[in-house]
Structure 1
Amino acid sequence: MFGKILVANRGEIAIRVIRACEELGIKTVAVYSELDRDALHVQRADEAYLLGPAEASASYLNVDRIIEVVKESGAEAVHPGYGFLAENAPFAQRLADEGIVFIGPPASAIDAMGSKTKARELMQKAGVPIVPGTTDSVDTYEDALRIARDEIGYPVAVKAASGGGGKGFRVALTEDKLKDAYEGASREGEKFFSDGTVYLERYLPNPRHVEVQIIADTHGNVIHLGERDCSIQRRHQKLIEEAPAPPWVVDEALRQKIGEIGINAAKAVDYVGAGTIEGMLQDGEYFFLEMNTRVQVEHCVTEMVTGIDIVKQGIKAAAGLPLDYAQEDVVLRGHAIEARINAESAPMNFAPTPGAIGRYLEPSGPGVRVDSGVGAGGVVSPQYDPMVAKLIVWDEDREQATKRMLRALSEYEIEGLTTLLPFHQAIFATDNWAKASTCSELLEDKDWLKSTAPAEPVVPIDLEDDETVSHDYVVEVSGRKFDVKVHGAAFGPVASANGSAAAAPGKKAKRSERKKSAGGGADDLPSPIQGNMWKVVAKEGQEVAEGDLICIIEAMKMENEITAHKAGTITTLAAKEGEPINTGDLIATIKSAEAAE
């Protein structure tokens, strides 16, 4: 078994892995960005090392620095969690070349399943059913137009070959929408995965998203742990997961079939560790969608109904140990549900809502589990994804688990941050959920989403008035010099060169000193979120209809389309591509024809 593992991640999954290591008697090494200096995963680990600036590309995706820390710390293995480098084949191969164990599948398996087109071709050869569509990339829009018209039909899904997590997924319901879908999927693929190639699939209008958890070791043993139903999604990203699927959705015969598909898929790529085969269930037909070559966000519900610690099994498999369980040992007991508590506003179409947390109280009691990465005084940054925590409950059946979930949600307190807590309380109380609908009819109903707004508006916690300074020092310890940066409260203003008071080095500008956004009237379109202005589509002087696209703001790894709030002429366009934007900043002023006259 390993003596020390580096956890190449942050937030709740980093803490989850650290806990598993503690139970196995393994020392842990955390890594962090400058923004995460005080994060809980940093405090929890035995050692912690700075990677770099807040931007993921300079920190959590900085392969050279991570390997440097592995060697400096003496870690024998790296656990990537999910996201960041978890499904990065070159990273896994680089570790192998350096003699460092990657806790996950071999690079060849990640590579085979990382490209959706390669995976579809491989699964088809292995006899695994795939959604009708192309197994080769579609290189031009003209090719896509021909294939959709002559071979697949509409609606058609356009997917980035290296996409995942809802990124690079667009749907063209009709031919006139195909160009936008093709270009959008390719753009997101290039942006998030450095791969703009796309492929086409038949779009299944309202399928259930059912996946199967598998675990494999280096001795040829592969087992499945039953299925999860993850059908409730927004923007093709999951919001709620449950295990097993409702009994009227997946019976024992279908469960065995899905399990065999998962095992066959894993064996086809010589898989090792924990992984998930995702599939679509439509009218009793089950189709392979993709394989996630890592531990899933929603692995918790499977752990609750099987009693098997998936993370520990993955670590043991990477250490060369055989699985602790055979297939006949896997028994599903009761029902588990997971709600993702994201910093998002459902009434604002799930726009991200980063910010600071004041008071923080997690629910507890029988059958309740919370996997979180923040606490009181923490901050959910727009630099990373919007997840605050995962709330998981277990009870003897789906109905009882739902009641327990509602009780747990009522106990959860997160002060100062807009989250999906009110949304989850609303959706779990609906007949739609009770009947195991995919709830797409609710998620696409803007009026229903607005009805989930909290009774009392959330008052943000303002940490920007906290005066902090940082100073650089050189210290000597045991004959070695170290550069040290000390962060702390300011003792007063620092004199500038001309003798006037100035902001202390490293101090955040107070809100009162910041540039205010203009306007605020009925003609003004303010930004609903904080992020980066990725693309401005509209032009000053342009006439727009209500709902026309004005710009796209990137926030928390999502593209958020901002549309016109009224019809009229754009008299002012304040949005600038490539620049940061804060909540409330003016995007555009739109005057109606009457007002313009």
Structure 2
Amino acid sequence: MTTMFDTVLVANRGEIAVRVIRTLRELGVRSVAVFSDADADARHVREADTAVRIGPPPAAESYLNVPALLEAARRTGAQAVHPGYGFLAENAEFAQACADAGLVFIGPPASAISLMGDKIRAKETVSAYGVPVVPGSSGSGLTDAQLESAAREIGTPVLLKPSAGGGGKGMRLVRDAAVLGEEIAAARREARASFGDDTLLVERWIDRPRHIEIQVLADAHGNVVHLGERECSLQRRHQKIIEEAPSVLLDEATRAAMGEAAVQAARSCGYVGAGTVEFIVPGNDPSSYYFMEMNTRLQVEHPVTELITGLDLVEWQLRVASGEQLPYAQKDITLTGWAIEARVCAEDPSRGFLPSGGTVLALSEPQGGGVRTDSGLSEGVPVGSLYDPMLSKVIAYGPDRSTAIRKLRAALADTVILGVPTNAGFLRRLLAHPDVVSGDLDTGLVEREAEGLVPDGVPDEVYAAAAAVRLDALAPRPDAGGWTDPFSVPSGWRTGGVRVPLRFPLRVPGTDPVTSEAPRDATVTPTRVTVELDGVTHHFHRTGDWLGRDGDTWHVQDHDPVEASLSGAGRSGADTLAAPMPGTVTVVKVAVGDEVEAGQSLLVVEAMKMEHVISAPHAGTVTELDVTAGATVAMDQILAVVAPLTDGEDAS
């Protein structure tokens, strides 16, 4: 007979920590949260039974600080550690350190993590068990020259992939052999920053592929089952943004074959716990699937599998880790209905999906009626640039795919996050795309269609609503006797019976200023604005200068041309390079006085595990450089100025 743990430490943050804590509470297990100084007021800290500070904001000094995590477990009497996903979830050294400290690591053995964490060894291992793999380079520790040679032998297009880690970090699709060297260097840099290991491999790129993954569950008694597939083909920059279960692509025979291949992959490494085997599948031939990698942890998209199987995967992680045997065989697993998930991230689609930040000023997240939101958000909490940009996941369930999609679109429309730009509105529009509705998916669909799913400018009604808020703020409030001085009402009335419309200069950052007339039939409350424009009534959520509708948000500010001329915005826009997102300057490649060519890389800004290269807008001379490597910068902060070359000069 096995005994469930009394206390479990959750070595993570954000929505996954909240989600794990929820199951711990349902099982009557005491939860221990850990937090950096940046997360002292975070939701997962408040919802846990106890919490321990583990360090300053940088992840390397807190959430990746193994001694601090082990000490937190010791001090709180934890018997086990749940790593969530990300951070140390797939770190074999951490899993072993837990075991050495007498703690149960709620995940697979360190040996399985190590084996499957090395994509090169993983491919060789599963291949020996009859699992088909993607053609590519062989051997570890290849030099840049060897990678180039392998890529040329395979033939472009090829995909460069870090051997360690996952989640699309450091991956580079290369279609032009001439830029292989540059892309290899960039992939190594990102891999080193994300995983501490810059080992790369190269694989054949399959055009218009689909990304299908199989959820597996294994116990320590030799039992392994799969829980069906998840379709994860809707991606941007190799990051999944929409996932669903099951997939419209697979028939029962292909599902069974891929499921058995996933089970064999799990057996090949002695897997225990919940894991995911990822396959790349040609859309025109689903039977020709190839193993890509195995994620030795709980996946972000695990809720869609939970909804169609009725199983709580975190609960079964805990039960398996405590020594329980799986009570069912493969024939007992049934898939019912359809579930689809959208990842809500702190990013701004109108600015090229660059990471965003800010403080959550207003929050409303749908729950119930076939909708589930897994979130780490709460009002008043800042969202910074130190950690992953994912804020929450909105999941919908229905008896069929069309119902699930319809429910998810409605849920995204009901999702209100004011104070931080997110991709919720973009995701809602993506779900209405004809190819998504029909299920004709591939991993390049989002990149091809993204531009058409981002609104072209700010709708007029947004400025009208903002002007209504300004007008409402000017209106006097009744005194204690309920009387309002009619002469103090901002009506626009002038002597002679003339009424002048009240107009307000407004702007949304990143757009040109607009002068908007305040509508007279608007309704303004502390949390809502309703305006009528061209016979259409528009409803907005509001907090301060923020307006939201159907998942989209706008930060509408007063525009003062004098103030703008005195600020950095008054400099020559063509010459001035500003930070496109809040983050950290990781690389500075030039100095004041350097002559540069148009398009030359000058700096690299990193935020939320994403790099953005700042390039010279034209040939010229660096006349100002206001940052150094390691500096933290705000969005739109001036980084450098490149003065153009005068006639007769030539950059060298």
Question: Normalised by the size of structure 2, how large is the TM-score?
Answer: 0.79
- Provide Cα deviations, 1:78-119, integer angstroms capped at 9, x if missing partner: 000001111110111111112110000000100110111111
Q: Is residue 135 of structure 1 aligned with residue 146 of structure 2?
A: no
Aligned positions of 1:436-455 closer than 5 A: 436=439, 437-438=441-442, 440-444=444-448, 447-448=451-452, 450-451=454-455, 455=459
SS class of match (1:164): coil
**How far, CA to CA, are the matches of 1:218 and 1:296 in structure 2?**
20
Name which of 8, 11, 17 aligns with 2:11. 8
Question: 1:313, CA displacement in angstroms?
Answer: 0.5
Counterpart code for 1:560: H
Question: 1:585, CA displacement in angstroms?
Answer: 0.9
Counterpart code for 1:522: G
Cα pair distance change 1:228/1:442, threshold 3 Å: closer
- Aligned residue pair count: 539
User: Is the contact made by 1:530 and 1:582 (CA closer than 8 Å) also made in structure 2?
Assistant: yes
- Provide Cα deviations, 1:14-53, integer angstroms capped at 9, x if missing partner: 1111111111111111111111111111111111111011
Aligned positions of 1:101-180 closer than 5 A: 101-150=104-153, 152-180=154-182
Q: Which residue of 1 aligns with 2:548?
A: none
Identity fraction in percent: 44
Question: 1:365, CA displacement in angstroms?
Answer: 3.9
SS class of match (2:289): strand
Question: 1:324, CA displacement in angstroms?
Answer: 3.7
Question: 1:307, CA displacement in angstroms?
Answer: 0.8
Cα pair distance change 1:332/1:446, threshold 3 Å: closer
**How far, CA to CA, are the matches of 2:647 and 2:18 in structure 1?**
55
Q: Which residue of 1 aligns with 2:267?
A: 267
Between 82-91 and 425-434, report the one with greater CA deviation: 425-434
Q: Which residue of 1 aligns with 2:620?
A: 569
Which ranges in structure 2 are unaligned for 5 or more consecutive residues? 464-506, 510-562
Name which of 75, 79, 82 aligns with 2:82. 79
Between 587-596 and 370-379, report the one with greater CA deviation: 587-596
**How far, CA to CA, are the matches of 2:318 and 2:445 in structure 1?**
41
Cα pair distance change 1:38/1:459, threshold 3 Å: farther
User: Is the contact made by 1:92 and 1:107 (CA closer than 8 Å) also made in structure 2?
Assistant: yes
Counterpart code for 1:393: A
Question: 1:587, CA displacement in angstroms?
Answer: 2.7
Q: Which residue of 2 aligns with 1:65?
A: 68
- Provide Cα deviations, 1:524-549, integer angstroms capped at 9, x if missing partner: 2321201111123466554544x654
What is the RMSD of the two structures over their aligned residues, measured on CA atoms? 2.3
Name which of 227, 240, 243 aligns with 2:242. 240
Name which of 183, 187, 202 aligns with 1:181. 183
Q: Is residue 51 of structure 1 aligned with residue 54 of structure 2?
A: yes
Cα pair distance change 1:160/1:6, threshold 3 Å: same
Counterpart code for 1:159: K
Q: Which residue of 2 aligns with 1:486?
A: none
- Provide Cα deviations, 1:132-151, integer angstroms capped at 9, x if missing partner: 0123125222212222223x
Q: Is residue 369 of structure 1 aligned with residue 372 of structure 2?
A: yes
Q: Which residue of 2 aligns with 1:485?
A: none
Cα pair distance change 1:201/1:82, threshold 3 Å: same
Q: Which residue of 1 aligns with 2:292?
A: 289
Question: Normalised by the size of structure 1, how large is the TM-score?
Answer: 0.86
SS class of match (2:420): coil
Aligned positions of 1:531-542 closer than 5 A: 531-537=583-589, 542=595
Cα pair distance change 1:554/1:595, threshold 3 Å: farther
Aligned positions of 1:116-515 closer than 5 A: 116-150=119-153, 152-246=154-248, 249-282=249-282, 283-284=284-285, 285-436=288-439, 437-438=441-442, 440-444=444-448, 447-448=451-452, 450-451=454-455, 455=459, 456=462
**How far, CA to CA, are the matches of 1:141 and 1:65 in structure 2?**
37
Question: 1:593, CA displacement in angstroms?
Answer: 6.1
Q: Which residue of 2 aligns with 1:475?
A: none
Counterpart code for 1:350: F
Cα pair distance change 1:95/1:117, threshold 3 Å: same
Which ranges in structure 1 are unaligned for 5 or more consecutive residues? 461-511
Q: Which residue of 1 aligns with 2:470?
A: none
Question: 1:180, CA displacement in angstroms?
Answer: 1.3
User: Is the contact made by 2:345 and 2:392 (CA closer than 8 Å) also made in structure 1?
Assistant: yes
Counterpart code for 1:554: E
User: Is the contact made by 1:352 and 1:555 (CA closer than 8 Å) also made in structure 2?
Assistant: yes
Cα pair distance change 1:519/1:73, threshold 3 Å: same
User: Is the contact made by 1:346 and 1:452 (CA closer than 8 Å) also made in structure 2?
Assistant: no
Q: Which residue of 1 aligns with 2:518?
A: none
